A and B are shown apart, each in its own frame.
Chain A
Amino acid sequence: MSAAYWRRAMNIAPSKVATRTLVAPSPVAQTAPDAYAHSDAPRWLKSLWTRLSARHVLVALFVLLYPFIATPFFTYQVGAQALGLGLIALSLTFLGGYGGMVSLAQATVAGLAGYLVAIFGSSSMATISLGWPWWLAVPFAVAIATVFATLVGWLSVRTEGIYTIMITLAIGVAFFYLTQQNYTLFNGFQGFNQVFAPTVLELNFREPVPFYFLALACALAGYFFVKMLVRAPFGVALQGIRDNPRRMHALGYHVNAHRVAAYAVAGLMAAVGGVLMVWYNSRISPGTANVGAMIGILIIAVLGGMKHPIGAFIGAITYVLLQNFAIDAIPGFRERFNLVIGGVFLAIVLFSPDGLLGIWSKLRLHLMKGQSPTSNQRRLQ
């Protein structure tokens, strides 16, 4: 038996096993018979219908109707900003929650994408900005920022835990100083002003409502992308690597390649978020990528909870609301508003290590106690 033949035989074997498990009826399918088996509707619609619950519909209705109920301030500064920041935090949730890699450089990737939009597109610095149309500038900015994120990943995957945090922090701080001290490309301390969102087909994305829907579309795309990815073979392998890299390695998975790919995927989301944020602020300067911004993204992700992609957005909403309204919380002591922000963060992390999502699941557990949850439900908590 030649070596090549042997290898082919070995390669074939697992796939046979895989097909067998696929055809075998899953226990879930047995307990819940398909109610729509006789319908002519396409399969994706049926699967959507079986998974949808009332709260999904409610949330979808709310986010769609929100800009028509809320004031322009709430639509833009609270809604759109939370969605943009949430998307950047989502990239960290994906890396940290599913890949076990906490990268502080996500704000840096977002900042780079923002800077590139200003450099390729148009701004008040006509000597630096190339003035490309948005449909050219944005793909280039996102692509380069994603490549940058991949390189960051490639550098940092060889480290674990706190060392990953340190190396990504170092990269982020280096980028911050680069933007602050480089004048030929990043225009130093002042950065770029008047980086405006484009007008597409009569739709001016500088207006609160169109911009909100743009941010919502990107955020939803990111959310469902992550939801899908973590169930796909790549996502499952990534979670395996998170839990036991050595065993995954022994199983034949290329651990580092999976991790670098996760960085690339997260970089793409952060880059899109960065483009949204530069349009939101209509300007960019080194402050967008400083240590405060990096920590801010981490706070959002931790505040919301890293066990589910929705946590990033819940965290972002909480963060934005606190940033805006903490100053009204203690009348007479407006100067001390940071105390409120810090206090709330501390309380959430102290009482629920899993962030707001953890509080929600604990609450659900309490409510269900009366209804005696099944062992399966208990395990899920």
Chain B
Amino acid sequence: MLNKRVWARSMLGAAAAVALAGPAWSQETLKIGLLATLEGPFAVPGQDSMRGADLALKLKNGMAGGKKIEFVKVSSDATPDKAVSATRKAVEQDKVQIMIGPLSGDEGIAVKNYAKSQPNITFINGSSGAQATTLSDPSPNFYRFNTEGAQWMVGLGEHALGKGYKKMFLISEDYGFPYSQVQGFMASYCAKGGKVVDKAWVPLGTKDYASVIAKIPKDVDALLVVLGGSDAVNFLTQYEQAGGDKPMIGGSITVDQTVLNFKGKRRESLLGTASAGPMADSIDTPEWKKFVADYKANFKDGFPSPSLFAYLYYINTKATLDALDAVKGDLSGGQKAYREALQKTNFKGPAGDVKIDSNRNGVGTTYITEVTKAPDGSFYNKVVKSVPDITQTLGLPEAEFKKMGLGSRDVPDCRK
């Protein structure tokens, strides 16, 4: 008797469960791969990247093109091998149709090369910013809605000349991303008559800058410092201790919060240090303020303000989802219609318009900032100028840019 009742009840429960689950099943789910660095040296930026992508999806209520969107998150440790392994797993094993990522430059080049072997899948960049990804041997199914390292520095060269810096000395980390940044700065700086008298390339993670500081000539007007994170802080401290007093121009990741919180005696001399990037914390537009408010509301464990990586993943994910809306989730025919919609993308992002060129690389705005003192005494990067519509050829005609070549240790060069 008891058994019978239990049996009847469980049948009823099962029926109810099926009835409840029914509508959920009838709704189609679309899987999108999402790759960022959840391990290794960029684990913290990688986490914030995921927040940026999650935010873009949340603001659309988890839907795009009439389908429920499910992120298949995979991770790399910022090495290209791992990035390709993780991407391959998402594409071939989890069968995602669209793939977003990766985070860092060399990963981007490796994923682009892999994209060529998967012509039916669409790849959208996360935050990687190597020039070569879309400039040399691009893949027809790899899209990058953000601008890259060289574009982020456009306009800073003129700004430096405007401040009267005619001769500069370069200190930079020795890998792909700083090469791009230096090229973005020097392309216009050299063309307009500035001189970079010498370059000091230091390995990533250098602790001792004594030999570099000793090499700085007396007669330069300013230093171009393209270092990131702890490297920037180490250089700054040691330069101060050596009695250096030249003003500085920074790269896109040089003058970040760790540098602004610098407590040395030369703290005041940081004031007026110019740098440039695709976004700035103090952009004064309603779009940016809404973005920051949304970010804060959704991620209690996040940063006080979205990082560069969160912003870049956000705009790339938003472009991905908007194009899905435009084609109503139709990915048939080798995703032809979807890719046309991606190509036509043009929306007002938190920090300027988001659109792409014929190489499927972002054309966007760069913000030039200067370190300024806030009323409460803290330092922040104040936007002094924005330069819209920067192309990947840095505003130069394509033939002239090709003649210069991609940024490297020796390109561009204007010593004398």
Chain A residues within 8 Å of B, Cβ to Cβ: 71-74, 76-77, 81, 124, 177, 180-181, 183, 188-190, 193-194, 281-283, 285, 287-288, 292, 323-324, 327, 334-335, 337-338
CA distance A282 to B81 in the complex (A): 9
Q: B residues within 8 A CB of A337?
A: 38, 75
Q: Name B203's closest neighbour in chain A (CB-CB).
A: A181
Contact with A along B283-314 (1 / 0, CB 8 A): 00000000000000000000000000000000
Residues of B within 8 A of A (CB): 38-39, 47, 50, 73-75, 77, 79-82, 84-85, 88-89, 92-93, 106, 109-110, 113, 137, 174-176, 203-204, 409
Q: Tell which of B39, B75, B81, B85 has the most Cβ of chain A within 10 Å.
A: B81
Contact check, A193 vs B109: say whether CB atoms are below 8 A apart: yes
Name which residue of chain B comes closest to A72, CB basis: B92
Nearest to A324 among chain B residues (CB) is B89
Nearest chain B CB to A181 CB, angstrom units: 5
Kindly list chain B residues whose C-beta atoms are within 8 Å of the C-beta of A194: 113
Bound-state CA distance A282–B112 (Å) is: 13
A288 to B85 CA separation, bound complex (whole angstroms): 13
B93 CB contacts on chain A under 8 angstroms: 71, 73-74, 77, 324
Q: How far is the CA of A145 from the CA of B75 in the complex (A)?
A: 32
8 nearest A-B pairs in the assembled complex, by CB-CB distance:
A73-B92, A287-B79, A189-B175, A334-B73, A73-B93, A281-B81, A335-B38, A324-B89
Bound Cα distance from A43 to B38, whole angstroms: 57
Residues of A within 8 A of B73 (CB): 327, 334-335
A183 / chain B contacts, CB cutoff of 8 Å = 409
The answer to whether B113 touches A193, judged by C-beta atoms less than 8 angstroms apart, is yes
Q: Establish whether residues B85 and A77, one from each chain, have CB atoms under 8 Å apart when the complex forms.
A: yes
A76→B92 CA distance, assembly (Å) = 10
- The answer to whether A188 and B81 have CB atoms under 8 Å apart is no
Distance, CA A317 to CA B344, complexed state (A): 45
Which of B92, B113, B176 is the one whose CB lies under 8 Å from A71? B92
- A190 B106 Cβ-Cβ under 8 A: yes
Min CB distance B76 to A, Å, is: 10
A287 near B80 with CB under 8 A, answer: yes
Query: Given A77-B92, A292-B77, A323-B85, A181 and B109 touching (CB < 8 A)?
Result: no
Interface SS majority for chain A: helix
Given the contacts A189-B175, A324-B85, A337-B75, A180 and B80 also touching, CB distance less than 8 Å: no
Taking a contact as CB atoms under 8 Å apart, the answer to whether A335 and B50 are in contact is yes
Instruction: Check if A180 sits within 8 Å of B106, measured CB to CB.
Output: no
What is the count of residue pairs linking A and B with beta-carbon distances less than 8 angstroms? Answer: 72
Q: Which of A73, A74, A194 has the most CB of B within 10 A?
A: A73
- With A77-B89, A282-B113, A335-B47 in contact, do A189 and B204 touch (Cβ < 8 Å)? yes
**Whose C-beta in chain A lies nearest to the C-beta of B89?**
A324
Q: Distance (Å) between the CB of B103 and the closest chain A CB?
A: 14
User: Whole-angstrom distance between the alpha carbons of A323 and B39 in the complex?
Assistant: 12
* Whole-angstrom distance between the Cβ of A114 and the nearest chain B Cβ: 11
Bound: A337/B36 CA distance, A: 13
- A73–B86 Cα distance when bound, in Å, is 11
What is the distance, in angstroms, from A311's C-beta to the closest C-beta of chain B? 23
Q: Is the CB of B174 within 8 A of A189?
A: yes
Contact of B81 among A71, A76, A283, A338 (CB under 8 A): A283
Residues of B within 8 A of A335 (CB): 38, 47, 50, 73, 75
Tell me how far the C-beta of A245 lies from the nearest C-beta in chain B, rounded to whole angstroms: 39
Per the bound structure, the CA–CA distance linking A282 and B50 in Å amounts to: 28
Contact B80 A283 (CB under 8 A): yes
Do residues A188 and B84 form an inter-chain contact, with CB atoms below 8 A? Answer: no
Q: In the complex, which residues of chain A have a beta carbon less than 8 angstroms from the beta carbon of B80?
A: 281, 283, 285, 287
Cβ of B30 to closest chain A Cβ, rounded Å: 18
Contact assessment for B88 and A190 in the assembled complex, using a CB-CB cutoff below 8 Å? no
- Measured between beta carbons, the chain A residues less than 8 angstroms from B409 are 183
Distance to closest chain B CB from A323 (angstroms): 7
**Interface contacts beyond A77-B92, A283-B113, A327-B74: sample of 19 additional A-B pairs, CB < 8 Å, sorted by A:** A71-B92, A71-B93, A72-B92, A73-B88, A189-B175, A190-B106, A190-B175, A190-B176, A193-B109, A194-B113, A283-B110, A285-B80, A288-B81, A292-B77, A324-B85, A324-B89, A335-B38, A335-B47, A335-B75
21 contacts between A and B (CB under 8 A): A72-B92, A77-B88, A77-B92, A124-B137, A188-B174, A189-B106, A189-B175, A189-B204, A190-B106, A190-B175, A193-B113, A281-B84, A283-B81, A285-B79, A287-B79, A324-B89, A327-B75, A334-B38, A335-B38, A335-B50, A337-B75
Say how far B406's CB is from chain A's closest CB, in angstroms: 11
Chain A contacts for B109, CB-based, 8 A: 193
Query: Which of chain B's residues have a CB closer than 8 A to the CB of A283?
Result: 80-81, 110, 113
What's the nearest-Cβ distance from chain B to residue A345, in Å?
A: 15
A199 to chain B, nearest CB (A): 15
> What separation, in Å, do the CA atoms of A199 and B80 have in the docked complex?
24
Cα-based distance from A74 to B113 in the complex (angstroms): 20
Q: State in angstroms the CA–CA spacing of A281 and B93 once bound together.
A: 18
Give the docked Cα–Cα distance between A323 and B86 (Å): 9
Which residues of A have CB within 8 Å of B110?
193, 283
